[in-house]
């Protein structure tokens, strides 16, 4: 795992280029604390910088920037190619392998591109990556990103005429260090942040700077032309797997096959020349990854979990029980108000653009704890998106088919009736029957009520994903952009609604929220995270399973549960899904109140540049009074303001 940064000015570079490149890579040193590297061709105007976190091949033969054996290509690369050993053998068998200098994956990546061309090589890679590749022969620069967007890359042109320059980096902090960078906030991105809690690709918080979409590479030429192509399309792949590639075996065969495929993926991703462990929440996904890793490990696996003093949100006892059964070397941290207060000021630096998933706090803390023991951690992320683990998938399968038969006006009327009772009142009314089974039932009822009038299943999904449906009441510059522009959703229109939701998760929520949260939090402490569920083989198999297998016998993620039950007693796992929630609503009224009020009313960046101060003040007062839980509206505003303050 590493950080990359650089620039390309086709008119050529001056003598200050090396210093500018060094400043850019220094700004992302946390992504690669072990070494720094630079390569500059002043005549062609190319500068490639690298920060290294040494994980495989710790010797100098794994250092970057790295040139291909034939001298044609130079690369800076962030990530891991998990099947690089297989590709190395294939290159040797085809007689196109170079004289190997080391045993790392970067050298194999370059050899594959040299032998097969970038299109074919990218389709052969099974891993997570983002890279910049300079081609001396064509005088072109290619940027590429992995299939699902585990690794980030930002890019964009700045300047005019002879000063026109392409900038790229793993992290916007590197662009901030470049004098040519123009920091113009994109109003549309602010609206998307408020709607989803993150800025989805291809947008970034800055106008003119894009995130390269997952599964895509773009080839840039000196004349400014860009050729972007997708070598992987999640919607097309999903439609194929769920159509002609649909799994037709028995339920037991599906479980056997899943254990085999997932186990193989975990062992591929467990290869490292440094200490490795797992995040273990005690839920299905992380427990499955930990169990299968421990099954194949001769030593106790190091596992890490977070807990809370608020019992409603605390899953640490469950994680502890699973760890005890599996025999892992378990570490846990119970989050205190002091932890939260110490972490809050770090968020703008950890997330170089505004990010408002409040579970970013415990994600950073568990990464920070893990880094004291290991350099690589496997996570259970993507299990929900692959195996129908979210409540929206369950309700799309069971509730929506019946609900959609009711005329929309009647559904809308029912929604208005639900929202006429405050969330706090609903909590009080339902406290006794639901206290042990559901957190914030009133808030959940209000959210459900607001999407009751959805025209169809896809509109329902987008409404559920929208954490703030009343954005016009708060934003100075609302946007009609729904975050799905440029996505041909018609490719999955024929699939059952739960399948469509999971496919849309793959292109939006997973890369924009989940993978961003984990990458930035882990890289802030120089920890490499790996996601075995996103192995190509695992994804294709999961997508091929019919909904009736994923949602079965009243359980979500049924096949994944059955795999886990072979290693962990069912009694340790069967409980209502909590997710990685945090009591942010209570913290805002308690240990974070002073910080929050400073962002809303004492920040040097005026609130009214982007928000209606009167509306936000009313929101804050309602939250403080306890009449409403307004955390979902407040958190994007607070993180955005804190980020602006940090940028100056």
DSSP string, 534-588: GSHHHHHHHHHS-HHHHSBTTBSSHHHHHHHHTTS-GGGT-S----S---HHHHH
User: How many domains does the structure of the chain reveal?
Assistant: 3
- 494: in domain: no
Strands 35-41 and 46-52: antiparallel
Q: Is the same domain home to 173 and 311?
A: no
Same domain, 226 and 120: yes
Domain boundary among 232, 260, 282: 232
**Is the residue at 425 inside a domain?**
no
User: How many other C-beta atoms are found inside a 10 Å radius of the C-beta of residue 607?
Assistant: 19
Stated pTM of the model: 0.94
Instruction: Specify whether 104 is located in the same domain as 163.
Output: yes
Q: Pairing between strand 2-8 and 165-169?
A: antiparallel
| Cβ-based burial of 307 (10 A; exposed 0-12, middle 13-18, buried ≥19) | buried
Residues 158 and 270 in one domain: no
Angle at 11 between CA 8 and CA 16, to 5 degrees: 65
Q: What is the reported pLDDT for 417?
A: 86
**Measured distance CA(149)–CA(172) in Å, rounded:** 16
Determine the pLDDT at residue 436: 43
Q: Is there a single domain that holds both residue 204 and residue 269?
A: no
Cα 2 to chain center, whole Å?
Answer: 16
Centre a 10 Å sphere on the Cβ of residue 120 and count the other Cβ atoms it contains.
12
User: Which residues are within 8 A (CB) of 60 and not within 5 positions of it... i.e. 6 or more apart?
Assistant: none
Is the domain of 568 the same as that of 631? no
Structure tokens at 252: 């037991």
Same domain, 249 and 104: no
Residues 6+ apart with CB under 8 A from 81: 87, 105, 108, 109, 125, 126, 127, 129
Look at residue 523 and tell me if it is in a domain. Answer: yes
Q: Is residue 619 part of a domain?
A: yes
Same domain for 159 and 298, yes or no, is no
Helix (H, G, I), strand (E, B) or coil at 275: coil
In a domain, 395, yes or no: no
Flag whether 354 is in a domain: yes
What is the domain extent for residue 249? 245-387+507-572
What CATH number is attached to the domain comprising 93? 3.60.20.10
Contacts of 4 (CB under 8 A, 6+ apart): 48, 49, 50, 51, 76, 77, 78, 130, 131, 132, 153, 168, 169, 170
User: Same domain for 222 and 267?
Assistant: no
Answer whether 51's CB lies under 8 Å from 32's CB. Answer: yes
Domain C-terminal end among 525, 549, 572: 572
The residue from 207, 232, 257 where one domain ends is 232
In a domain, 394, yes or no: no
Answer yes or no: do 73 and 202 share one domain: yes
Q: C-alpha 75: how far from its chain's center?
A: 24
Q: What is the pLDDT of residue 214?
A: 98
The CATH code of the domain that includes 360 is: 3.40.50.620
Distance between CA 419 and CA 423 in Å, rounded? Answer: 8
Distance CA 470, CA 473 (A): 6
Rounded Cα gap, residues 29 and 51, in angstroms: 6
Q: Give dist(CA 562, CA 250) in Å, integer.
A: 13
CA atoms of 395 and 497, how far apart (whole Å): 10
Burial class (CB in 10 A: 0-12, 13-18, 19+), 264: middle
| Mean pLDDT of each 10-residue bin along the chain, 648 residues long | 93 95 97 96 97 87 93 97 97 97 95 98 98 97 98 95 95 94 95 95 97 98 89 97 96 98 97 95 96 96 92 85 97 92 95 95 97 98 97 91 89 85 76 54 77 88 83 85 88 95 97 98 97 98 98 95 97 69 88 95 92 95 90 95 92
Q: Are residues 79 and 202 in the same domain?
A: yes
One domain, residues 92 and 221: yes
Please report, for residues 123, 201, 486, 513, 631, the alpha-carbon distance to residue 215 in angstroms, rounded to integers and kept in the order given: 9, 12, 14, 17, 34
The b/e string for 508-536 (b: 16+ C-beta within 10 A; e otherwise) is: bbbbbbbbbbbbbbbbbbbbbbbbbbbbb
The token duo for 99 is 């004289």
Q: What is the H or E stretch that residue 333 is in?
A: strand 329-335
Order of all β-strands in the sheet with 216-220 = 66-67, 73-81, 127-135, 140-145, 216-220, 226-230
**Residue at 430 is within a domain:** no
């Amino acid at each position: 795992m590493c950080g990359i940064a650089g620039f390309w000015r086709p008119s050529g570079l001056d003598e200050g280029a090396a210093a500018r490149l060094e400043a850019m890579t220094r700004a992302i040193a946390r992504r690669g604390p072990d070494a720094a590297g630079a390569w500059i061709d002043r005549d062609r105007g190319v500068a490639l910088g690298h920060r290294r976190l040494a994980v495989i091949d710790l010797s100098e033969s794994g250092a970057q920037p790295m040139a291909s054996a034939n001298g044609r290509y130079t690369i800076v690369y962030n990530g891991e190619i998990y099947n690089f050993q297989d590709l190395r053998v294939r290159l040797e068998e085809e007689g196109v392998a170079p004289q190997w200098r080391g045993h790392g994956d970067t050298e194999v990546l370059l050899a594959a591109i040299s032998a097969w061309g970038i299109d074919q090589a990218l389709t052969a890679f099974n891993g997570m990556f983002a890279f910049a590749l300079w081609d001396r022969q064509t005088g072109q620069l290619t940027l590429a990103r992995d299939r699902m967007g585990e690794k980030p890359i930002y890019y964009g042109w700045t300047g005019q005429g002879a000063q026109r320059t392409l900038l790229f980096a793993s992290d916007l902090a590197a662009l901030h260090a470049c004098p040519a960078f123009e920091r113009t906030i994109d109003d549309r991105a602010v609206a998307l942040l408020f709607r989803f809690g993150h800025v989805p690709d291809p947008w970034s918080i800055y106008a003119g700077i894009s995130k390269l979409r997952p599964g895509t590479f773009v080839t840039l030429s000196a004349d400014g032309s860009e050729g972007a192509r997708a070598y992987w399309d999640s919607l097309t792949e999903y439609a194929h797997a769920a159509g002609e590639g649909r799994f037709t075996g028995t339920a037991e065969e599906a479980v056997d096959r899943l254990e085999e495929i997932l186990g193989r993926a975990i062992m591929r991703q467990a290869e490292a020349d440094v200490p490795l462990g797992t995040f273990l929440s005690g839920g299905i996904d992380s427990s499955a990854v930990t169990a299968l890793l421990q099954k194949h490990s001769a030593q106790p696996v190091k596992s890490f979990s977070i807990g809370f003093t608020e019992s409603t949100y605390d899953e640490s006892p469950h994680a502890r029980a699973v760890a005890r059964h599996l025999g892992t070397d378990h570490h846990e941290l119970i989050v205190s108000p002091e932890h939260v207060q110490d972490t809050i000021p770090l968020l703008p630096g950890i997330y170089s653009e505004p990010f408002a998933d409040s579970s970013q706090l415990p994600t950073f803390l568990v990464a920070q704890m893990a880094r004291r023991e290991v350099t690589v951690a496997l996570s259970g992320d993507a299990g929900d998106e692959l195996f129908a683990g979210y409540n929206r998938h369950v309700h799309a399968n069971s509730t929506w088919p019946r609900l959609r038969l009711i005329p929309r006006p009647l559904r809308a009327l029912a929604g208005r009736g639900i929202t006429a009772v405050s969330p706090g009142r609903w909590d009080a009314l339902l406290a006794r029957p639901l206290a042990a089974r559901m957190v914030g039932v009133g808030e959940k009822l209000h959210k459900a009520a607001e999407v009751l009038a959805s025209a169809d299943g896809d509109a329902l999904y987008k409404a559920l994903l929208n954490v703030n449906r009343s954005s016009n009441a708060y934003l100075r510059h609302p946007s009609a952009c729904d975050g799905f522009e440029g996505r041909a959703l018609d490719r999955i229109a024929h699939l059952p609604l739960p399948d469509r939701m999971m496919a849309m998760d793959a292109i939006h929520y997973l890369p924009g929220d989940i993978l961003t949260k984990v990458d930035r939090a882990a890289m802030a402490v120089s920890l490499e995270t790996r996601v075995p569920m996103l192995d190509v083989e695992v994804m294709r198999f999961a997508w091929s399973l019919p909904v009736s297998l994923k949602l079965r016998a009243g359980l979500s993620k049924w096949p994944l549960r059955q795999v886990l039950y072979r290693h962990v007693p069912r009694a340790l796992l069967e409980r209502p899904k909590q997710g990685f929630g945090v009591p942010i609503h209570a913290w805002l009224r308690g240990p974070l109140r002073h910080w929050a009020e400073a962002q809303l009313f004492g920040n040097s960046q005026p609130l009214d540049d982007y928000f209606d101060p009167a509306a936000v003040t009313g929101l804050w007062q309602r939250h403080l009074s306890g009449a409403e839980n307004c955390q979902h509206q407040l958190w994007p505003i607070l993180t955005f303001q804190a980020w602006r303050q940090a940028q100056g």
